[in-house]
């Protein structure tokens, strides 16, 4: 039985409608019953719990905002945010799988795919029959994806794709990949590539201390022939991948706070139960300072993403606003995880409690989808109009 008591210091639940609270409860219950009992073991063994995928699909976690006519859940961005928060309360790696599937695979097909591509792929991605991954980062191009070397040449009704992608979530088991590559004119385009196409391999990346329950790998294209009707016709240039990242970063802004909320809640319970020097450690000022600061930062983060959801629903959230929220939520979560771990003393380093796993996971979350520093520079550019990073 999970004892989770989600912090809601400013009574934000009152601003979330009945329907959204029901959605949250169903994800929370699933996380309690299906994810939490297995996640520590899978993380310790560095294995992806693939048995969770059908349940995730059933909950509508794959493409929550994609319209129902394409198999999505047709929900708004508040619902999407709440779902990601609950999921990441369980584990950032499992939330990553949902983010990739919904925001980085289904979204580009929905936004930029042909009608035929949408009808063919989206329903199967929504129900988990097909799993996808998103290939943007390359070995020598991370923060600067526009410098990518992966490219394709024209060959009749096919293209020939060469290059490689690195650090790709879900790559080892994905059935399809959205690959961003340069066309013969040097412009970035998206392609839907399928496992089994000749010249395509997805070696797994091992030795990760972070996101251990998420599978990461490379995408290698060696004179890979891809039919031309697998190119996403609706977008050319970096706007394509960046708009997908915008969707995913929005979910991460909500999600990372879920990990923070779990760490905080665990620390509060421990501080009240654990006694030293004849009284609960929660009775010492230094521990109270930690808990009070954690709750303050979490509450500020919750208010930020709640407002961001409203802006996103009205199609008014700017990429820079999303950058600010992603950076703030992940930094808050990392800080909360580190403080919470200290509250637990030695117990904090064990798998008996979720804190160390959250903390290690967040070390990836602070780097992927735009690093902490790059997001700061995006805010700086928004303020000054001067690009300090490229």
Ligand X SMILES: Cc1cc2nc3c(=O)[nH]c(=O)nc-3n(C[C@H](O)[C@H](O)[C@H](O)COP(=O)(O)OP(=O)(O)OC[C@H]3O[C@@H](n4cnc5c(N)ncnc54)[C@H](O)[C@@H]3O)c2cc1C
Q: Which is nearer to ligand X, 96 or 117 (CB)?
A: 96
Binding mask 38-77 toward ligand X (x if CB under 6 A, else -) reads ----------------------------------------
Does residue 183 interact with ligand X by CB under 6 A? no
Q: Which is nearer to ligand X, 22 or 388 (CB)?
A: 388
Q: Which is nearer to ligand X, 42 or 134 (CB)?
A: 134
| CA dihedral of residues 207, 211, 214, 216 (deg, nearest 10) | -50
| Candidate list 97, 137, 150, 328; residue touching ligand X; CB under 6 A | 137
| Candidate list 227, 367, 381, 382; residue touching ligand X; CB under 6 A | 367
Q: Which of 34-42, 76-84, 120-128, 135-143 is the region at the interface with ligand X (rule: CB under 6 A)?
A: 135-143
Q: Which is nearer to ligand X, 332 or 361 (CB)?
A: 361
What is the smallest separation between the CB atom of 285 and ligand X, expressed in angstroms?
A: 35
Q: Which of 218, 297, 339, 369 is catalytic?
A: 369
Does residue 101 interact with ligand X by CB under 6 A? no
Binding mask 155-174 toward ligand X (x if CB under 6 A, else -) reads ------------xxx-----
Q: Which is nearer to ligand X, 104 or 224 (CB)?
A: 104
Is 369 a catalytic site residue?
Answer: yes
Q: Which is nearer to ligand X, 168 or 259 (CB)?
A: 168
Q: Which of 82-90, 322-330, 341-349, 371-379 is the region at the interface with ligand X (rule: CB under 6 A)?
A: 371-379
What is the smallest separation between the CB atom of 259 and ligand X, expressed in angstroms?
A: 15
| Candidate list 311, 347, 374, 381; residue touching ligand X; CB under 6 A | 374
Tell me the HSE value of 7 on the side-chain side, using a 13 A CA sphere: 29
Size of the site for ligand X (CB under 6 A): 21
Site for ligand X in 306-365 (CB under 6 A): 364
Cα distance between residue 321 and residue 324, in whole Å: 5
Does residue 213 interact with ligand X by CB under 6 A? no
> Which residues are near ligand X by CB under 6 A?
100, 133-137, 142-143, 167-169, 211, 216, 364, 367-369, 371, 373-374, 389
Residues tagged active-site: 369
């Amino acid at each position: 039985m999970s004892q989770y008591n989600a912090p809601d210091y400013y009574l934000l639940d009152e601003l979330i409608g009945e329907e959204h609270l029901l959605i949250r409860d169903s994800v929370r219950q699933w996380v309690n019953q299906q994810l939490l009992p297995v996640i520590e073991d899978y993380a310790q063994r560095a294995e992806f719990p693939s048995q969770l995928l059908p349940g995730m699909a059933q909950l509508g976690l794959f493409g929550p905002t994609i319209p129902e006519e394409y198999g999505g859940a047709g929900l708004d961005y508040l619902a999407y945010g709440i779902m990601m928060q609950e999921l990441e309360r369980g584990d950032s790696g499992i939330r990553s799988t949902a983010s990739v599937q919904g925001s980085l695979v289904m979204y580009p097909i929905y936004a930029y795919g042909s009608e035929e591509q949408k009808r063919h792929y989206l329903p199967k991605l929504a129900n988990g029959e097909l799993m996808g991954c998103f290939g943007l980062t390359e070995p020598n191009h991370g923060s600067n994806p526009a410098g990518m070397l992966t490219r394709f040449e024209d060959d009749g009704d096919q293209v020939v794709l060469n290059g490689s992608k690195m650090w790709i979530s879900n790559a080892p088991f994905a059935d399809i990949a959205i690959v961003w590559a340069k066309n013969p004119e040097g412009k970035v385009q998206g392609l839907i590539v399928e496992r089994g196409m000749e010249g395509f391999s997805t070696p797994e990346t091992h030795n990760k201390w972070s996101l251990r329950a998420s599978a990461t790998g490379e995408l290698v294209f060696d004179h890979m022939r891809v039919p031309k009707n697998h190119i996403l016709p609706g977008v050319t240039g970096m706007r394509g991948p960046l708009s997908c990242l915008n969707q995913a970063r929005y979910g991460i802004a909500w999600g990372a706070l879920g990990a923070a909320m779990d760490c905080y809640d665990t620390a509060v319970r421990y501080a009240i139960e654990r006694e030293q020097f004849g009284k609960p450690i929660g009775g010492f000022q230094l521990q109270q300072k930690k808990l009070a600061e954690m709750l303050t930062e979490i509450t500020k983060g919750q208010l930020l993403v709640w407002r961001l959801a409203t802006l996103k629903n009205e199609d008014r959230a700017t990429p820079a606003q999303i950058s600010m929220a992603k950076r703030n939520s992940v930094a808050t979560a990392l800080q909360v995880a580190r403080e919470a771990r200290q509250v637990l003393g030695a117990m904090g380093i064990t798998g008996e409690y979720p804190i160390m796993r959250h903390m290690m996971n967040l070390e990836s979350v602070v780097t992927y989808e735009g690093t902490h520093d790059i997001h700061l520079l995006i805010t700086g550019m928004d303020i000054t109009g001067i690009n300090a990073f490229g």
